[in-house]
Amino acid sequence: MINLEPPKKAGALINQAYQAASQVLRPISRKYDRAEHAYPSELDMFAAVLDGLNSSGEGGAGAAGVRRDEKSSEKGNRNGGNLSTVLGTIEMCWGDVALLLSMPRQGLGNAAIASVANEEQLTRFGKLWAAMAITEPDCGSDSAAITTTAVEDGDSYILNGEKIFVTSGQRADAVVVWATLDKSKGRAAIKSFVVEKGTPGFEVVRLEHKLGIRASDTAVLRFENCRVPKENLLGSPEVDTKKGFAGVMQTFDNTRPLVAAMAIGVARAALEETSRILSEAGVKVDYDQPANTQHAAAAAYLELEADYEAAYLLTLESAWMADNRKPNSLQASMAKAKAGRSVVDITLKCVELAGAFGYTEESLLEKWARDSKILDIFEGTQQIQQLIVARRVLGKTSSELK
The DSSP H or E segment spanning 225 is strand 218-229
Amino acid at 306: A
User: Which residues, in sequence order, are bridge partners of residue 175?
Assistant: 131, 195
Amino acid at 266: V
- Residue 6 is given by DSSP the state P
- Residue 103 is given by DSSP the state S
Nearest one of 232, 1, 7, 220 to 116, comparing CA atoms: 232
* β 174-180/130-133 pair status: parallel
* C-alpha span between 312 and 304 (Å, rounded): 12
* C-alpha span between 80 and 86 (Å, rounded): 10
Active-site entry in 5, 42, 379, 400: 379
- Provide the b/e sequence for 158-188 (b: ≥16 CB within 10 Å): bbbbbbbbbbbbbbbbbbbbbbbbeeeeebb
The DSSP H or E segment spanning 238 is none
Cα separation values, 291 from 281, 338, 350, 381, Å: 18, 22, 17, 32
DSSP string covering 73-100:
---S----HHHHHHHHHHHHHHH-HHHH
* C-alpha span between 334 and 24 (Å, rounded): 32
Query: Is position 379 annotated as part of the catalytic site?
Result: yes
Q: Among positive and negative, which fits the CA dihedral 44, 336, 162, 37?
A: negative
Burial of 381 (0-12, 13-18, 19+ CB in 10 A): middle
Q: Among positive and negative, which fits the CA dihedral 392, 397, 401, 402?
A: positive
Kindly give the residue spans of alpha helices, DSSP state H, lying in 35-147: 43-55, 81-95, 97-101, 108-116, 119-125
Catalytic residues: 379
